[in-house]
Amino acid sequence: MHVKILGSGCANCVNLEKATRQAVNELGLDATFEKVTDHADIAAYGIMRTPGLVVDEQVLLSGRVPTTRQVKDLLAAR
Partner 1 sequence: MTTQTSPQRAAVRRWALLGVAAAGWVGLYAVNEVFWTWLYATVFRLDITTGWASMLHFFSYDTVKITLLLSGIIFVVTVLRSFMSIERTRALLGGRREGVGNVLAASLGVVTPFCSCSAVPACIGFVSAGVPLGVTMSFLIASPLVNEVAIALLLGLFGIGPTLLYVGAGLVIAILAGVVIGRLQLEGQVEAFVYETRLRGQVIDSTAGLTWDDRLAMGREEVASILRRIWPYLLVGIGLGAVIHGWAPADFFARYAGPDNPLAVLVAVAIGVPLYSNAAGILPLIDALYDKGMPMGTLLAFMMATVALSLPEMILLRRVLKPRLIATFAAVTALGIVAVGYLFNAIL
- Angle among Cα 16, 21, 24 to the nearest 5 degrees reads 125
Q: Which of 2, 18, 64, 78 binds partner 1 (CB under 8 A)?
A: 64
Instruction: Tell me: does residue 71 bind partner 1 (CB under 8 A).
Output: no
In the range 16-55, which residues lie near partner 1 by CB under 8 A?
39-40, 42-50
CA distance 19 to 17: 5
In the complex with partner 1, which residue's Cβ is closer, 34 or 63? 63
User: Could you tell me if 53 and 37 are in contact, meaning their C-beta atoms sit under 8 angstroms apart?
Assistant: no
Instruction: Tell me: does residue 12 bind partner 1 (CB under 8 A).
Output: yes
User: Could you tell me if 3 and 27 are in contact, meaning their C-beta atoms sit under 8 angstroms apart?
Assistant: no
**Which residues are known catalytic residues?**
10, 13
Q: Write out the residues near partner 1 by the rule CB under 8 A.
A: 8, 10, 12, 39-40, 42-50, 57-65
